[in-house]
Amino acid sequence: MTAILSNLQAVRRAVTEASVAAGRRSDAVHLLAVSKTFPAVSVREAYQAGQTAFGENYLQEALDKIETLRDLPLEWHFIGPIQSNKTRPIAEHFDWVHSVDRLKIAERLSAQRPESMLPLNICLQVNVSGEESKSGVTPQDVMQLAREVAQLPRLQLRGLMAIPAPADDPVLQRAPFVQMHALLETLNAQGMQLDTLSMGMSHDFAVAIQEGATIVRVGTAIFGNRNYGGEL
C-alpha cells in the first residue's frame, strides 16, 4: 500500500469518526485534498485511491497540474491569495474559489467565467479571531460583501472559509470555528442560502467538523510534509 493511499484511508476514517461523534451524517463533510507543492503524480495516486477534489494555492503550479491531469475527472478548488490581474485563469480552470475577500475580485471572476461552464462556486474568506494571515473580510463586513457577491451572475455563493492560526489550547482552537458557524447562521437568517463552511486542516479538522465544517482542507496528513524548495 502506498503512503498516500494509507494516509487517505486514515484521514477518511478520522473524518467519519468526527462526523458521527458530532451527530452529523458521515456524508455531510467533504474532504478536499490540498496538493500544493506536490507533483501531478501524487494527485494521480490520490485519485486512484478514490479522491476527486483537490485544492491548490499557487496559480501557475495549479494550472500546470490541471493541464497534466486533464484526462481525469477532477474537481479543482483555488484556496490561495488572489491577485486581481490573475483572475481570468482561475475563472477558466477551477470549480471552486475559497479565498474571495473583496468585491473587485468577485466581479472579475464573474465577468471572466466562461458561459460554457457552470457558475463558479465561491466561498468568502473571513478573517476570524486568531487568524494568522491578513487576508479575509472582517466579520463586520461579511454580510455586505455576501449580498453583493450573491448578485453576480456567473458566481454561486456557497459559504464561508477561514484559516485560523494553529492553537495549542483546545478552547482557543475551537473558538474561531464556533464564530464561523454563527456567522453562517446569521447570514442564512437574513435570507442567504449558504450550505458551505470550509474550515479545518490537518491539525484541527476533527474540531472543525464538530463545529459544523462541510469542507475540510487537508494537505500534510494526506501527502506528507511540504518542501517549499526555498522558492514559494
Ligand X SMILES: *Cc1c(COP(=O)(O)O)cnc(C)c1O
* Contact set with ligand X (CB under 6 A): 34, 36, 57, 79, 163, 201-203, 217-221
Nearer to ligand X, 157 or 208 (CB): 208
Evaluate whether 156 touches 121 at the Cβ level (below 8 Å): yes
Cell numbers found for residue 66: 490541471
Minimum distance from residue 4 beta carbon to ligand X (Å):
14
* Residue nearest to ligand X according to CB distances in the complex: 219
Distance, in Å, from the CA atom of 91 to the CA atom of 78, rounded to the nearest integer, reads 10
Output the smallest distance, CB 58 to ligand X, in A.
10
- CA–CA–CA angle 183, 184, 186 (5° rounding): 65
Minimum CB separation from ligand X for residue 133, in Å?
9
Name the H helices within the chain.
3-21, 40-48, 59-68, 87-93, 103-112, 142-150, 170-189, 205-210, 220-223
Q: Which is nearer to ligand X, 102 or 217 (CB)?
A: 217
Closer by beta carbon to ligand X, 110 or else 198: 198
Minimum CB distance to ligand X, residue 120 (Å): 17
Q: Measured from the CB atom, is 35 or 179 closer to ligand X?
A: 35
